Structure 1
């Protein structure tokens, strides 16, 4: 199958491309700068395609020869992202219909049953879902909440909140449930959705455990061998928490505020976990929370894009955002605390 991967140089996309290549697919690696493919080890095995979600002509041209599209575009830190994401999805859906694309696979987020008070982040994901599922193209929507893996925005948020504060403040409203899923399991589900049999519809995907967000922070602290007592903070408005977390973590402000706003809802698989039902054969034994965190902290000298499967998509990659990484790493099974940061450890190994 000839698969167009949008966001191919991003966190999920760059780790997905080698899996699709190993499965025998031809990959059209969509990117704004199509010369960027050369910076990846898979660059000479894909067809780079110019793709700009603000340019309908580039979208139309990119989809012209595609059999399937993996849609990984989100712009939470870019102004009016709700409108922009919807318009981009509409342009992709139109082009897919025009060129007879067989299917679209979209990685979304968990959507609560009550749609009346959705955060902008969740509302945007839902609108994009609706654009694809209401088109004439067979569409598979995969709803994941917190993705655990080095470089994942949600994982890096957890990492930095735990590592940078000697004690963790927990707003009294931030006690809803989450169901984290390992990056490697997300990738296997996406790849399975591109198999011979189309899987139309929306599917909730989650890991092996359901917990509260504070409990997830505690699990990271335990794996990282850090003493991080928690204390409740009552009556703190969500916008204040979002801005504070952005300042503490040093991550993109708009993205952090959007993610924090989403924590008002339970983020769990509601209609049965597709990882253990619809996609069980593809995933096998899902990766547990502690193992996912441990593998994310393990230092490896690779860029995360090896098609032969010798690298771990849970681990850090050179293509990860500049703000990814922390001072805790695991080498030879031992937890190490290095104030210079994991990025510096990786730099010494290159």
Structure 2
């Protein structure tokens, strides 16, 4: 038996091309010949290495896996899965940016309508908020802000540039500069389309055709939403940038997060880092570092404007003891 030019020569028989052989037993050296029924070639003893290495290998997992090997195939599958997942996440971001802003505004109006009973509005307080939003917003798209009488220290960005500030946050803030830092953060979510990405991830394409849920369900989803740490950091970076451009000191926002970090201390320390939001202490350091000494800053609101905002919910009833987390 010998091997030459891709042909297997067996004494007393016509030569056989190696490409015509196929392994028919994964455990024994038994081969068939393509296109020739009943043709068999077996070995009682293992042939010499130069011949053995060029004989077809036995099929165990399927053609493609057998050609590259099991562990190589597993590795390739893991890489492909990661790329598919990355593509899905990136695809949501691209889809969110392709949605017409006018459509987003209608959705935001529908969601904010569910808070109508808790809406707070006075002429002076609303004007103060609108003036502040114009200072902090970099685009021509209108940012529409409202205050709702909910005793929770937070704010939420809705589709279409709608932002709701909870009265609990205004009461907790010690200056309008602290409110400005949080507001700029929420505008960052709007500008980067994080809100639509969160809704698309939760409700899928049904959101776009009206079959994904109701306005109330969308609103609750945003209240419950946990943006990725990357999205939260992106919104914080946006906030710092806009505060500096507006001449508002980020130091006040750093102080706000310093107080929040003390409250988080009772949550178990390291458990805070498992949440999707960056810890308040981490955020404090970012805003603190941006408040450069020697820079000329001016207040986010004048004292009369701040007083008007603080009293914007006077005469309305708070929502009460609720669990609104985000």
When you count helix as a share of all residues, which structure comes out higher?
A: 2
Tell me whether the two structures share a fold, i.e. TM-score over 0.5: no
When you count strand as a share of all residues, which structure comes out higher?
A: 1
Higher-Rg structure is 2
TM-score normalised by the chain length of structure 2: 0.24
